[in-house]
């Protein structure tokens, strides 16, 4: 299976680490990465060993370790480093933010703590049980309509891409059971540690998400320890909000939140009050009068 890739932006003093979904590729976040790059942010969308498509299977602890290493590499070069994740990538982003509380902002797109959307098969709850049976090496969850997309034209394009190459801009055609098992472990970890995450947090979720219901976003919003929190609900998308009908809204809101978070940080670091020109003139006049007196 060939991994699609694209160049990322390296400009600015604010870097964004973008983490794609489970067993997928950086292509999932191409639109948002390019938008943020055009807005002056440095972006980095890596492949992670044992997590990205075509890189084998590793434990969720190794996923976190690899993502943290990517964060640390950016932190050496940039004043601000934020983390953005999509689907299980959002869950992974939360785990990284827990280990790196200096993360400027945390952007959670279609966060997946439970596969409980309306299109998930009823038997999905058996996956963890099957992991401990001979089915472990044989079973794969196969993606199917609507592929996380409300946009029907794009959905047809994705179906063709998955049939031809086994991967598309919204993920792989199938996910192996070991990956699903580790994803379940990762989600359990994040549920336990959400209250300890303090980075500014933006949550964007579709109300009709067919993979992870709105309960996932609601859980994070109700439990995260962030003092600056914003939740945005979309009504014309499914799970893959970085590619679907409202991708421009998603990208724009991400850029806006990153700017607001960085600006708030700058004000906190330098609490000098902002003074208008008129007030500055008046203060100079008063100082002059005081000196003469």
Domain assignment present for residue 8? The answer is no
Q: Report residue 241's pLDDT band, with 50, 70 and 90 as the boundaries.
A: very high
Provide Rg for the chain, Cα atoms.
22
Asked if the model's pLDDT at residue 7 lies above 50, the reply is no
Specify the higher pLDDT residue, 173 or 190.
Answer: 190
> What does the pLDDT average to over 143-155?
78
Is 209 known to be catalytic?
Answer: yes
Where do the H-state alpha helices sit in the chain? 30-38, 60-77, 88-99, 127-130, 152-165, 177-193, 214-223, 247-269, 277-292
184-214 pLDDT tens trace = 999 999 999 999 999 999 999 999 999 999 9
Which one is catalytic: 44, 181, 205, 239?
A: 239
Is the pTM here over 0.95, yes or no? no
Asked if the model's pLDDT at residue 52 lies above 90, the reply is yes
pLDDT value of position 275? 45
Domain assignment present for residue 267? The answer is yes
Helix axes 88-99, 177-193, angle to 10 degrees: 50
Specify the higher pLDDT residue, 150 or 131.
Answer: 150
Structural domain including 84 reads 14-292
Domain assignment present for residue 9? The answer is no
Domain assignment present for residue 52? The answer is yes
Which one is catalytic: 9, 24, 82, 87?
A: 87
The angle subtended at Cα 152 by Cα 146 and Cα 155, nearest 5°, is 55
Specify the higher pLDDT residue, 1 or 278.
Answer: 278
Which one is catalytic: 110, 200, 209, 212?
A: 209
pLDDT value of position 239? 95
Domain assignment present for residue 199? The answer is yes
> What does the pLDDT average to over 57-72?
97
Asked if the model's pLDDT at residue 276 lies above 60, the reply is no
Is 14 known to be catalytic?
Answer: no
110-148 pLDDT tens trace = 999 999 998 876 555 556 656 556 665 555 556 656 878
The percent helix, strand, coil of the chain (3-state, each to 5) is: 45, 15, 40
Domain assignment present for residue 35? The answer is yes
Secondary structure letter of residue 174 according to DSSP: E
Is 87 known to be catalytic?
Answer: yes
CATH number at residue 20: 3.40.50.1820
Work out whether strand 174-176 and strand 140-142 pair parallel, antiparallel, or are unpaired.
antiparallel
pLDDT value of position 1? 41
Domain assignment present for residue 2? The answer is no
Domain assignment present for residue 274? The answer is yes
Per cent of the chain over pLDDT 70 is 74
Q: Report residue 100's pLDDT band, with 50, 70 and 90 as the boundaries.
A: very high
Peptide bond into 247 cis (omega under 30): no
Domain total of the chain? 1
């Amino acid at each position: 299976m060939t991994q699609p890739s694209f160049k990322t932006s390296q400009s600015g003093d604010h870097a964004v680490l973008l983490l794609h979904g489970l067993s997928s590729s950086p292509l999932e976040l191409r639109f948002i990465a390019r938008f943020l790059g055009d807005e002056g942010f440095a972006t980095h969308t890596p492949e992670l060993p044992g997590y990205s498509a075509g890189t084998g299977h590793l434990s969720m602890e190794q996923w976190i370790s690899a993502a943290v290493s990517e964060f640390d590499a950016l932190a050496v070069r940039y004043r601000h480093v934020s983390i953005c994740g999509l689907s299980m990538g959002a869950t992974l982003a939360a785990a990284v933010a827990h280990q790196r509380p200096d993360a400027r902002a945390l952007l959670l797109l279609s966060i997946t703590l439970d596969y409980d959307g309306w299109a998930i098969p009823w038997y999905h709850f058996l996956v963890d049980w099957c992991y401990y049976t001979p089915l472990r090496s044989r079973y794969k969850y196969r993606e199917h309509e609507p592929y996380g997309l409300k946009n029907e034209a794009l959905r047809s394009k994705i179906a063709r891409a998955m049939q031809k190459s086994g991967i598309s801009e919204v993920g792989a055609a199938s996910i192996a059971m070991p990956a699903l098992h580790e994803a379940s472990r990762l989600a359990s970890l994040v549920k336990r540690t959400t209250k300890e995450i303090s980075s500014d947090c933006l949550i964007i979720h579709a109300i009709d998400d067919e993979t992870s219901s709105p309960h996932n976003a609601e859980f994070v919003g109700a439990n995260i320890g962030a003092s600056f929190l914003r939740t945005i609900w979309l009504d014309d998308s499914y799970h893959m909000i970085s590619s679907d009908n409202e991708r421009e809204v998603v990208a724009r809101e991400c850029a806006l939140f990153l700017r607001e978070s960085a600006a708030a940080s700058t004000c906190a670091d330098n609490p000098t009050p902002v003074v208008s020109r008129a007030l500055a003139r008046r203060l100079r006049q008063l100082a002059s009068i005081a000196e003469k007196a």
